[in-house]
């Protein structure tokens, strides 16, 4: 079935006459490096976007030459030509964008007319990793908390049982993975929503970070990035999938930047309605946190 689908896609590419490639290197559950390649071409009625092939990278250190040989071998084997390739989209790895021996440089050597683009989503994801000095320690604390409970089989079972006995909505925390685009937002949201359960468990274990979950200032700083990364996750999800062109993604990112400017203006006036968890937390606490909020607002404005 797989071979038949591949033959249909290749036949459609040949009929179209031109195609573009999108590729990236990833690592599977067995830590084996895989090269994933997608193709876009003009179909009979509309633009078609298909998965082209996945090849395992045999060496531990993969160079642009290795990547090019894999793709070049597939193209020649299937009777395609680099002259038909009008654009290539990649991530920002040196093996992809190296000036002399990177994948895109090797493609340019066989087809000087090819258009090379850097994935907009990849750039946005890299930019969103940079946090202020006020917020970064909070994220690090959350990661330490998750790494104390989740990887330990015993702690994980005890925490789950405690949450079950308390009738909590969730019984588990989520693993944090820096290479997963949606991971940070989901981990922060789960910890914030289970902050009462996490605080009880950490106190029972006499963990050094247990006191953090009782500090309003720390929780304020946790609520804010939770709201921000939740919105970023929605943005990332909305810009992925079929029929999402470069223009569509570009317009989405421009609209999001305009929204950020609007949020900056509202926070400068001390209003937090744009941040649901942060706003709800302040209302639920029913306390005046002027000093903590002023620090937080300065962080938001930066």
User: For the segment 38-87, what is each residue's pLDDT rounded down to a tens digit?
Assistant: 888 888 878 888 888 888 877 655 677 778 888 888 888 888 988 889 88
**Mean pLDDT of all residues belonging to the chain:** 81
H/E/C letters for each residue in 149-201? HCCCHHHHHHHHHHHHHHCCCCCCCCCCCCCCCCHHHHHHHHHHHCHHHHHHH
Q: With a cut of 50, say whether residue 302 has pLDDT above it.
A: no
Question: What pLDDT, on a 0 to 100 scale, did the predictor assign at position 142?
Answer: 93
If asked whether residues 76 and 193 sit together in one domain, one would say no
Query: Domains in the chain: how many in total?
Result: 2
Using the 3D structure, point to which of 85, 118, 151 is the last residue of a domain.
118
If asked whether residues 89 and 130 sit together in one domain, one would say no
Q: What is the mean pLDDT of residues 154-164?
A: 93
> 246-268 and 216-238 are packed helices; what angle lies between their axes, rounded to 10 degrees?
160
If asked whether residues 87 and 193 sit together in one domain, one would say no
261 pLDDT band (50/70/90 cuts)? confident
Q: What is the mean pLDDT of residues 136-147?
A: 91
What are the tokens at 244?
């999402």
Question: What pLDDT, on a 0 to 100 scale, did the predictor assign at position 249?
Answer: 82
Using the 3D structure, point to which of 75, 101, 118 is the last residue of a domain.
118
Angle at 113 between CA 110 and CA 244, to 5 degrees: 110
Structural domain boundaries enclosing 174:
126-301
Question: What pLDDT, on a 0 to 100 scale, did the predictor assign at position 35?
Answer: 83
Using the 3D structure, point to which of 79, 101, 118 is the last residue of a domain.
118
Scan for tokens 């050597």, then name that residue: 109
Question: What pLDDT, on a 0 to 100 scale, did the predictor assign at position 176?
Answer: 83
30 pLDDT band (50/70/90 cuts)? low
Q: What is the mean pLDDT of residues 155-180?
A: 88
Q: With a cut of 60, say whether residue 286 has pLDDT above it.
A: no
Question: What pLDDT, on a 0 to 100 scale, did the predictor assign at position 264?
Answer: 80
If asked whether residues 10 and 147 sit together in one domain, one would say no
Q: With a cut of 70, say whether residue 94 has pLDDT above it.
A: no
Question: What pLDDT, on a 0 to 100 scale, did the predictor assign at position 288?
Answer: 39
Q: With a cut of 50, say whether residue 235 has pLDDT above it.
A: yes
Q: What is the mean pLDDT of residues 219-248?
A: 84
Angle at 79 between CA 73 and CA 81, to 5 degrees: 75
Question: What pLDDT, on a 0 to 100 scale, did the predictor assign at position 207?
Answer: 92
What are the tokens at 193?
């929503």
If asked whether residues 47 and 112 sit together in one domain, one would say yes
Using a pLDDT cut of 70, give the percent of the chain over it.
Answer: 85
289 pLDDT band (50/70/90 cuts)? very low
pTM over 0.75: no
29 pLDDT band (50/70/90 cuts)? low
If asked whether residues 79 and 139 sit together in one domain, one would say no
* C-alpha of 120 from chain center: 12
If asked whether residues 138 and 164 sit together in one domain, one would say yes
- Cα–Cα distances in angstroms (integers) from residue 50 to residues 25, 138, 244, 302, in the given order: 17, 41, 13, 41
Kind plus residue range of the DSSP H or E element containing 279: helix 276-285
Scan for tokens 């919105």, then name that residue: 231
If asked whether residues 254 and 227 sit together in one domain, one would say yes
If asked whether residues 54 and 131 sit together in one domain, one would say no
Question: What pLDDT, on a 0 to 100 scale, did the predictor assign at position 141?
Answer: 92
Question: What pLDDT, on a 0 to 100 scale, did the predictor assign at position 300?
Answer: 46
If asked whether residues 263 and 203 sit together in one domain, one would say yes
For residue 7, the domain's CATH number is 3.30.420.40
If asked whether residues 41 and 132 sit together in one domain, one would say no
Q: What is the mean pLDDT of residues 137-143?
A: 90
285 pLDDT band (50/70/90 cuts)? low
List residues bridging with 116 in a β-sheet: 88
Quick check: 19 and 40 in contact, CB under 8 A? yes
If asked whether residues 158 and 280 sit together in one domain, one would say yes
Q: With a cut of 60, say whether residue 297 has pLDDT above it.
A: no
């Amino acid at each position: 079935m797989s071979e038949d689908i591949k033959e249909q896609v290749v036949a459609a590419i040949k009929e179209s006459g031109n195609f573009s490639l999108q590729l990236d290197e990833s690592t599977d559950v067995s830590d084996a490096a895989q090269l994933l390649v997608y193709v876009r071409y003009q179909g009979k009625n509309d633009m078609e976007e298909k998965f082209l092939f996945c090849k395992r990278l045999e060496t531990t250190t993969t160079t642009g030459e290795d990547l090019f040989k894999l793709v070049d071998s597939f193209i020649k084997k299937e009777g395609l030509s680099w002259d038909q390739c009008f654009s290539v989209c990649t991530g920002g790895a040196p093996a992809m964008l190296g000036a002399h021996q990177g994948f895109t440089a090797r493609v340019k050597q066989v087809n000087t007319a090819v258009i090379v683009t850097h994935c907009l989503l990849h750039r946005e994801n890299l930019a969103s990793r940079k946090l202020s000095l006020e917020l970064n320690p909070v994220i690090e604390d959350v990661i330490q908390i998750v790494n104390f409970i989740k990887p330990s089989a015993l702690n994980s079972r005890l925490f789950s049982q405690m949450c079950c006995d308390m009738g909590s909505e969730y019984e588990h925390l989520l693993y944090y993975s820096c290479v997963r685009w949606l991971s940070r937002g989901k981990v922060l949201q789960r910890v914030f929503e289970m902050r009462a359960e996490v605080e009880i468990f950490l106190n029972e274990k006499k963990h050094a970070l247990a006191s953090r979950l009782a500090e309003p200032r720390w929780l304020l700083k946790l609520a804010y990035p939770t709201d921000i990364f939740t919105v970023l996750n929605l943005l990332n999800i909305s810009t992925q999938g079929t029929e999402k062109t470069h223009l569509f993604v570009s317009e989405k990112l421009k609209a999001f930047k305009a929204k950020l400017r609007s949020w900056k203006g509202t926070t400068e006036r001390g209003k937090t309605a744009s941040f649901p968890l942060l706003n709800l937390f302040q209302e639920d606490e029913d306390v005046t946190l002027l000093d903590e909020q002023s620090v937080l607002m300065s962080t938001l404005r930066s």
